[in-house]
Amino acid sequence: MIQDLFIIKRIKEGDIATFEALFKSVYTPLLLYSAGITGRRDVSEEIVQDLFYYIWKERDGLQIMHSIKGYLYKSVRNRSLQYLEHEKVTERFILRNETGRYDSQPTGQDVLEFRELEEILKKSMTKMPERRVEIFRMHRFENKKYTEIAEALSLSVKTIEAEITKALKTIRKEIELHTEIL
């Protein structure tokens, strides 16, 4: 536990060597854990890499009070389950688009919420730079990986990661504004 607190402190201070050592020591086990949940190694690689990107980017505000490995495993588990949930929703809407119907009948409330979210997303995207919108669309709607987007647009993967993060932040803010109004 004391060792974990020391590691967290060093990362918060911007010690890249400590961060890289942590990454190297837990990357493979976290990847295997995520792959066991998602069933897809490529998705799991992205999940683990996104988590470490988030940790480095948000290192100043990290609130890990106990085991760092426990935090990492819980985060990977949550992100992997979110991926599965996203896939389930995507499959349902693909089925609807292909057949013209839902696999289960949506309620009026479902339809209203979906339309509200669509409007919020459209409004959010009007507030983003054109390149960010293009990157977001490629990732979320065309299911392209960061590396594919980077290659297609001649940008670095880090730039793609940063743009996706900024796009999601804009969307979250728009959702928060919308929920405050309600």
Which residues are CB-neighbours of 68 under 8 A, at least 6 positions away?
Answer: 4, 7, 8, 22
Listed residue (150, 167, 151) closest to 159, CA to CA: 150
**What pTM did the predictor assign?**
0.52
For the four alpha carbons of 150, 153, 159 and 164, in that order, the dihedral sign comes to negative
CATH number belonging to the domain at 106-182, selected among 1.10.10.10, 1.10.3720.10, 3.40.250.10, 1.10.150.240 = 1.10.10.10
Q: What is the pLDDT along the chain (182 residues), one digit of tens a residue?
A: 688 888 888 999 999 999 999 999 999 999 999 999 989 899 999 999 999 999 999 888 888 878 899 999 999 999 999 888 888 877 777 666 655 555 556 667 777 777 788 888 888 888 899 999 999 989 988 888 999 999 999 999 999 999 999 998 988 888 888 776 65
CATH number belonging to the domain at 1-104, selected among 3.40.1390.20, 1.10.1040.10, 1.10.1790.20, 1.10.1740.10 = 1.10.1740.10
